[in-house]
Amino acid sequence: MVFLVEIQKLVENQRSFFLSEQTLDYRFRIDNLRKLRNMLEKYEKSIYQALKQDLNKSTYETFTTELGFLYNEIKHAEKSLKDWMADELVDAPITHKGTKSFIRKEPYGVTLVISPWNYPLQLAIAPAIGAIAAGNTVIIKPSEFSPSTSSLLAKMVNETFDSSYLTVVEGDSESSKALLNQRFDYIFFTGSTPVGKIIMRKASEHLTPVTLELGGKSPVVVDKDADIGLTAKRIVWGKYTNAGQTCVAPDYMYVHQKIKEKLLKEMQKQIKSLYGRDAIHNNHYVRIINENHFNRLSQFLSNGSVFYGGNVDRNQLKIEPTILDNISWEDPVMQDEIFGPILPVLTFNSLEEVITELKQREKPLALYYFGEKERNQEKVMTTLSFGGGCVNDTLYHLANPNLPFGGVGSSGMGGYHGKHSFDTFSHQKSILKQTTKFDIPLRYPGGKLAFSLIKKIMK
Ligand code: NAD
C-alpha cells in the first residue's frame, strides 16, 4: 500500500516536472545525455563487477554488448539531436497556396521503460537515451533476475538524476503491476511475448502507446552454397555470445542436407577456438541466469542426439555450447524460444521447403540467411516476415544505429536505436500555418464555377 502511494507520487512528480517545460529545451536534453554518459564512465568498474556477478560476463563482453553500445548511442544522439528536433517541412497541394506545413517532434511526457535480465544494463538504458533525447521524463523498471545490475542501476541513476526526471524503481512483477496501474504517456517494454500481452492490455486502459520488444524462435538458414568457414564462425559467435541468452540469437539452425556434416564439424572447431575445449571451466563463459532457466534448458539436452557439448555444471549454472542433431519440429526444444546455449539442427533439401515451413510459423524477431546466390538471398528476405536480420551474418544488424531494431507480429511492435529511438519517443505533431494576407475562396460552398474548379483540382 505504501509502495503504491510512493509510485503514484513519483508519477505525479514526473508529470509536474514535464509540464514545467524544462525538458523541451535542447540544452537541457544535451546536458542530461552528457550526465548519463559521465555516470556510466564513473561507474564503469562497478558495472563490470555487477555483470560478472549476475551472468559471469567478461569485461570484454560487457563492454562490447552493453557499455560500448550505450556510449555509441549517446554519442550519436548528442551529435544529431539538433537535426532530429528540427521541424520537418513538408510539401502541400495547390489548394494550400499561402500555407506552410511542418511536423513538430513533441515529447510524449511521462514514460515507463520495463527491461529484462539478459542485457540488464543495455536494455534498461538504451530506451532511456531515446526518451531523454526526445524530451520525456523516464521511470525505469529493471529485472529482478539480475539483482546486482538492477541495484547498481538504481544507485547510479538515483544518485545522478532527480527522481522527478529520471529514476529507477526496482522490484519484481509486482512493482511492474503497481507502475502499470498509473497513467503513462508511453510504455517501452522489453521482455517475453506473454508478458508483452499483459503490458499491452494494461496500457490500453489509458490508451497509452507502446513499443514491445519481444522474443521468439529466430531461425538461421544455411544454404548449400554458403561459405562454410565464415558461416560456422558467425553462427557460433551469434549463438553462444551471452550463452545464447540473446533475444536475436539464432534459436535453431536450418541447414541444407548436402553441407550439414561439413558445417557441423567446422562449428565444432569454432566453438573450441572461441571457448576452449572445456567451456564450462572457461572463466569468461557466461552462465545461465538462474536455476529455473538452468533446469528448463537442461531438459532439452535429451532431445535428438548431442553432436557437440551437452555437459552442464549445476553449481556454476553453466551449460556447454551445445549442438543437437536429428531434431524434428515435434521435439520439446522446438516448441518455444530456447534462450540458452543449445542449438538444434534441422535439415532441408530445397529452399522452397524452408520458406513454406517458416511462413506457417510465428514471425520471429530475427532471421539469418547464409548463401551466396543473390536471387535466393532476395527471395528469403522478401517472402518471409521477421523483425530484422542479416544475409551472411548474425546479430550484426542490431549494432547499426541507422537500422530500426524491433519485432513484428508476436515478436513485437515498434523499433528503436539511433534516430529511431528519438522518433519512438516523439509524437509527430502536424501543423499548418495559414496566411492572413489572402483567402482562397474555393473551400467555401459557392457558385457552379468554383465547384467545377475544385472538382478538377481534387480528382
Ligand atoms: P519477462 O517478460 O519475464 O520480464 C521482463 C520484465 O517484465 C521484467 O522487468 C519483469 O519484472 C517484468 N514482468 C514480468 N512479469 C510481469 C507481469 N506479469 N506484469 C508486468 N511486468 C512483468 O522477460 P525476461 O525473462 O526478463 O527476458 C527474456 C525475454 O525477453 C525473452 O523472451 C527474450 O527474447 C526477450 N527479449 C527481447 C529483446 C528485444 O529487444 N526484443 C531483448 C531482450 C530480451
172 and 144 housed in the same domain: yes
Best residue among 119, 182, 192, 239 to mutate for probing ligand 1's pocket (most ligand atoms within 8 Å of CB) is 192
Name the maximum alpha-carbon separation found in the chain: 88
378: CATH: 3.40.309.10
Count the residues in the chain.
Answer: 459
Alpha carbon separation from 35 to 19, 83, 114, 154 (Å, rounded)? 22, 21, 21, 15
Question: pLDDT digits over 28-62, tens only?
Answer: 999 999 999 999 999 999 999 999 999 999 999 99
Question: pLDDT digits over 429-454, tens only?
Answer: 999 999 999 998 878 887 777 778 87
233 C-alpha to ligand 1 centroid (Å): 29
Supply the pLDDT for residue 445: 81
369 and 416 housed in the same domain: no
Q: Decide: helix, strand or coil at residue 278.
A: coil
Asked if the structure places residue 444 within a domain, the reply is no
161: CATH: 3.40.605.10
Asked if the structure places residue 136 within a domain, the reply is yes
Whether the predicted pLDDT of 194 surpasses 60: yes
The three grid cell numbers given for residue 192, joined into one nine-digit string: 517475453
User: How much is the average pLDDT of 202-225?
Assistant: 97
> Is the Cβ–Cβ distance between 289 and 118 less than 8 Å?
yes
359 and 285 housed in the same domain: yes
Supply the pLDDT for residue 1: 56
Alpha carbon separation from 94 to 91, 102, 452 (Å, rounded)? 10, 16, 16
Asked if the structure places residue 18 within a domain, the reply is yes
70 C-alpha to ligand 1 centroid (Å): 20
149 and 273 housed in the same domain: no
Total number of domains constituting the chain: 2
Q: Which one is catalytic: 61, 66, 73, 213?
A: 213
192 C-alpha to ligand 1 centroid (Å): 4
Please tell me which residue, 372 or 455, carries the higher pLDDT value: 372
Alpha carbon separation from 121 to 44, 51, 215, 261, 264 (Å, rounded)? 11, 8, 18, 39, 34
56 and 31 housed in the same domain: yes
90 and 197 housed in the same domain: yes
375 C-alpha to ligand 1 centroid (Å): 37
Asked if the structure places residue 450 within a domain, the reply is no
Asked if the structure places residue 440 within a domain, the reply is no
In which band, very low, low, confident or very high, does the pLDDT at 220 lie, cut at 50, 70 and 90?
A: very high
DSSP string, 331-381: SGGGTS---SSEEEEEEES-HHHHHHHHHTSPPPSEEEEE-S-HHHHHHHH
9 and 121 housed in the same domain: yes
Asked if the structure places residue 455 within a domain, the reply is no
Close Cβ partners of 41 (under 8 Å, ≥ 6 residues apart): none
Q: Phi and psi for 308 in degrees, rounded to 5?
A: -145, 145
Which residues sit with their C-beta closer than 6 Å to ligand 1? 114-118, 123, 141, 143-144, 172-173, 176-177, 190-192, 195, 198, 213-215, 247, 337, 339, 365, 407, 412
161 and 128 housed in the same domain: yes
Asked if the structure places residue 443 within a domain, the reply is no
Nearest of 320, 321, 342, 341 to residue 331 by alpha carbon: 342
290 vs 144: CA distance, rounded Å: 11
Asked if the structure places residue 453 within a domain, the reply is no
The DSSP element (H or E) to which 413 belongs, if any, is: strand 412-413
256 and 349 housed in the same domain: yes
Supply the pLDDT for residue 213: 98
Mean pLDDT of the chain: 96
Supply the pLDDT for residue 435: 96
Whole-model pTM: value is 0.96
Question: pLDDT digits over 249-263, tens only?
Answer: 999 999 999 999 999
194 and 248 housed in the same domain: no
45 C-alpha to ligand 1 centroid (Å): 26
89 and 134 housed in the same domain: yes
> Is the Cβ–Cβ distance between 356 and 379 less than 8 Å?
no
Distance of alpha carbon 295 from the chain centroid: 26
- Does residue 247 carry a catalytic annotation? yes
- Does residue 291 carry a catalytic annotation? no
141 vs 135: CA distance, rounded Å: 19
The three grid cell numbers given for residue 295, joined into one nine-digit string: 533446469
Q: Which atom of ligand 1 is nearest to the CA of 215?
A: 34
Residue 250: give the domain boundaries. Answer: 219-406
Whether the predicted pLDDT of 158 surpasses 60: yes
> Is the Cβ–Cβ distance between 96 and 435 less than 8 Å?
no
Whether the predicted pLDDT of 160 surpasses 90: yes
390 and 427 housed in the same domain: no
Best residue among 113, 118, 200 to mutate for probing ligand 1's pocket (most ligand atoms within 8 Å of CB) is 118
Supply the pLDDT for residue 263: 98
Angle at 447 between CA 445 and CA 451, to 5 degrees: 70
Question: pLDDT digits over 295-346, tens only?
Answer: 999 999 999 999 999 999 999 999 999 999 999 999 999 999 999 999 999 9
Supply the pLDDT for residue 2: 55
Of all protein residues, whose CA lies closest to atom 39 belonging to ligand 1?
Answer: 213
Supply the pLDDT for residue 246: 97
Question: pLDDT digits over 97-118, tens only?
Answer: 999 999 999 999 999 999 999 9
Question: pLDDT digits over 5-24, tens only?
Answer: 899 999 999 999 999 999 99
